[in-house]
Structure 1
Amino acid sequence: SPLGEAGLAQDILPELALARQAMSIHTEWAKSLSELTGVDTQHRFRPALDIAFSEEEVALGKSQVEWRSKEDGYRSEWLDGNQAREIVPAISKGVVGAAYTEGVADLDPYRLTLALAQACESMGASIRHGEVIGMDQANGKVLTILTANDRIQCESLVLAMGPWSGIISKWIDAKVPIRPLKGQILRLDAGDLEINCSVGWQGSYACTKPDGLLWTGTTEEDVGFNETPTPSGRDSVIESLTKMIPNLEEARIVEHTACLRPLSADGKVIVGPVQNRTNVFIASGTGRKGILLGPALGEIICDLITFGQSRLDIEPFRLSRFQN
């Protein structure tokens, strides 16, 4: 959702225009990618219910409703605890209120990636797998990418390396302050229990996906490039889940996964040209919002390469802000 997982309007305002545009593209892709590739990305609109257990959380939730309700395409209202339980009966009796928002959506990230890859290949793109080990450069321009087995010439180079973006610093003579932020997710067989919207609380969420499983997460761990799912991560996710939805004694963990997100030093996206290379561009630093913001970053990079400028304002997101 462009409206953010939590917090006040000013917390996400710098990226709000990017998020609005990305959401629009996602909606278009839901149809066009399916028609082009036959892959169903499972994009669907469904409401969000951000629950509150304390007066402090109530105050935050009401402030969310106040500004969310002013956004075109969304409807948001404040519910008391009983009204919230009418929508999701399984939530805790300790819930005293909730921000209910319509207009948000979700999808399956693996299916989206698969559909995009197939669509690109059908239009002539070549996807190669391998580790980049260096670059041939001259006069401020990257000429060739070196892998262990290949040399790839390039007119333009896009650095979309996720949490590994920081390693590029030594090759482009610029700081790329990106570090990995680990997140762990559980998928559970909850029997007949179906959560028909995305229940959220303090950065955690739970919802039933089209695969019939209850997806819940997620952790935020600063542990380097460790992608291994851990018992402590599992327990942390379960603790938040059972705080939101307590009666899950019969639920069974089907899958436990972990991922790394690219987090910039100031928490904002990094997108745009690399200032000391004439043909190099970067798109990274999306944190927990990578799936949401990806289409907008792609459009920005496409605009810059094709037209030399972006339709969206990227001044707050340039890599140059870290080069003091």
Structure 2
Amino acid sequence: MKLGFLTACLPESDLTDIARWAASQGFEALEVAGWPSSDDRNHIRVDRFDDAEHDRIARIFAESGLTLSSIAYYENNLHPQEGAEVNAHVRRCIDAAAALGCPTVGTFVGRHPGLPVLDNLKRATDVFGPLVEYARQRGVEIVIENCVMKSWHPDGYPGNLAYSPELWEWMFTLGLKLNWDPSHLVALGIDPMTALTPYIRHIAHVQAKDTQILPGEIDRYGHYGPISGEKGWYRFRVPGLGQVDWTRVIDALYEGGYDGVVSVEHEDPVWSGSTERVQTGLGIAYRTLRHLMPG
């Protein structure tokens, strides 16, 4: 296993600087943000991926010695108006990943908020069948993060239909893989370990994020959270500052044969607000996880 992080937490930094800092701190991999150029999470410019951009990214990883674990573009592939463009950008991410020898592209299933879940799953089958085949032909796997994305639904219901093991099993029938993140399971009342062990062979990437339960708040809001759709009774933290038992998680991954990248996804509000604070948060995550990992 290798330890890395998702670069989206440092949108103001150049990928060259991120890679140099990451290598100097002992990280071994980067999951690189690949949103369109109009978004500040665009450390790789997949929407203008020419020979110069290919050479720029390849040189950064060659010089730093880091592994490019995944190209990240987490958007709603079932959006009623924007879905087709999201699908097209996923294809651009796949093309860039194939050219760079990157094994995975990460995205969300998403949801049409005006349709029932079963109707959404039918639409998703039509959307992801061709995307998975497009990726397969280029030697790339599509990984889906099990994030709930409540903010995508007007009533705060799940906006990404990949949040539970029941839905993972549906995803696997399409050839999709899992970018497993235990923080979202804690927020749904699902035991991360129970939801991990049976599915390790379907996991192609791991995101490391923690969840802190705020005392007393769930008794006011319940698991669905406030009517505003916000979290309300929990918040995301860097690994080591929440409820996830990382010793058991890493041990189970190792025992189950997972030998890929564990990528810290930094969404910790305490360690945010400046590059220095984000880097401090990443350092906390590193110290929590590194000594647990073989190699």
* TM-score of the two chains, using structure 2 as the length reference: 0.29
Higher helix share: 2
Pair member with larger Rg: 1
* TM-score of the two chains, using structure 1 as the length reference: 0.27
